[in-house]
């Protein structure tokens, strides 16, 4: 099975589902957001990325009406002002401010591994990380140094994941693709499981980081062979795995197992 055959099978697998049209697919192949033009907007995106860890979106954004509500507490999402007012280990202080100003719904656990304390630490780490750059242009110049070099490309999400606690390699890739780096896909569970079953990545690999790295490389190869962006490849397999056409009310259900079964049967894998 070639990468062209894999891509085409996945594409038409989705088109075969009730209610799914070519136009609908193409809509989901476009980024939801424009590239942030200033460092404050990049900081806000990082905060939004931080809440996407596991089920954190409902706990964080769902309880305060969205990450945008943190704007006043985070000084208009200004990294410098955040670093001027919060030390690196001030996650508890930030959480206290959020509780005082926004009164989040639901129970707030304060143990170090709980969602809110981890999110607050990610926010502070993000501010300190971005404060190293004079402006958005400086950030993009730095990021492009890695992103435009195929060999160095995986180092960029790895560095971000080291700088910011709570944002691992997959979430760092997700952040990058949502701020305009369409040559990054997110090695999430749907893609990794599909690629494992098709022997495109090592199914016996125990290292999560190596699995993520291998998945990123497979996404790149499929993208190159089909003359599409890694963003599009990511989206196709994510839509198969999740079934969530989030730009509409359509949800076709999770189809990962069915896709694996059908493609294995088609290509005698």
Mean pLDDT of 69-97: 97
- How much of the chain, in percent, has pLDDT values that exceed 90? 84
Exposure pattern of 80-104 as b/e (b: 16+ CB <10 Å)?
Answer: eebbebbeeebbeebbebbeeeeeb
Between CA 94 and CA 50 the distance in angstroms is 15
Residue with tokens 């040559």: 183
For residue 16, the SS3 value is coil
Average pLDDT, the chain: 94
How large is the average pLDDT for residues 73-85?
98
Q: Which residue, 234, 235, 253, 233, is CA-closest to 243?
A: 253
Band of pLDDT at residue 268, cut at 50, 70 and 90: confident
How far is CA 256 from each of CA 37, 264, 265, rounded to the nearest angstrom?
A: 37, 12, 14
pLDDT at 56: 63
Mean pLDDT of 133-157: 96
Tell me the average pLDDT across 247-265: 95
pLDDT tens sequence across 176-193: 998 999 999 999 999 999
Predicted local confidence at residue 196, as pLDDT? 97
pLDDT digits (tens, 9 = 90+) for 15-56: 999 999 999 999 999 988 788 999 999 999 999 999 887 656
- The helix or strand, by DSSP H or E, that contains position 169, with its residue range, turns out to be helix 169-178
**What is the reported pLDDT for 62?**
83
Q: Looking at per-residue confidence, does 147 or 65 come out higher?
A: 147
pLDDT at residue 251, as a whole number: 94
pLDDT value at position 52? 85
* Ramachandran area for residue 27 (φ above 0: left; ψ -120 to 50: alpha; else beta): alpha
The answer to whether residues 203 and 197 touch, using CB atoms and an 8 Å cutoff, is: yes
pLDDT tens for each residue of 229-241: 999 999 999 999 9
């Amino acid at each position: 099975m070639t990468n062209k055959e894999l891509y085409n099978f996945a594409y038409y697998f989705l088109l075969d589902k009730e209610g799914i049209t070519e136009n609908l697919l193409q809509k989901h192949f476009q980024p939801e957001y424009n590239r942030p033009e200033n460092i404050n907007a990049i900081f806000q995106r990082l905060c939004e990325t931080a809440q996407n860890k596991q089920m954190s979106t409902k706990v964080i954004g769902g309880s305060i009406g969205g990450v945008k509500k943190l704007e006043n507490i985070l000084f208009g999402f200004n990294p410098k002002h955040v670093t001027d007012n919060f030390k690196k280990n001030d996650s508890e202080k930030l959480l206290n401010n959020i509780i005082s100003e926004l009164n989040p719904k639901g129970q707030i656990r304060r143990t170090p591994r709980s969602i809110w304390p981890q999110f607050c630490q990610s926010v502070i780490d993000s501010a300190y990380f971005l404060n190293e750059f004079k402006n958005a242009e400086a950030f993009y110049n730095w990021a492009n140094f890695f992103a435009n070099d195929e060999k160095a490309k995986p180092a960029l999400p790895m560095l971000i994941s080291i700088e910011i606690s709570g944002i691992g390699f997959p979430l760092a890739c997700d952040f990058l693709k949502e701020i305009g780096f369409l040559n990054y896909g997110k090695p999430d569970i749907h893609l990794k499981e599909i690629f494992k079953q098709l022997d495109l990545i090592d199914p016996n690999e125990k290292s999560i980081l190596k699995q993520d790295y291998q998945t990123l490389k497979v996404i790149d190869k499929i993208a190159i062979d089909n003359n599409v962006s890694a963003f599009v490849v990511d989206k196709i397999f994510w839509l198969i795995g999740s079934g969530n056409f989030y730009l509409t009310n359509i949800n076709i259900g999770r189809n990962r197992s069915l896709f694996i079964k059908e493609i294995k049967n088609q290509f005698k894998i």
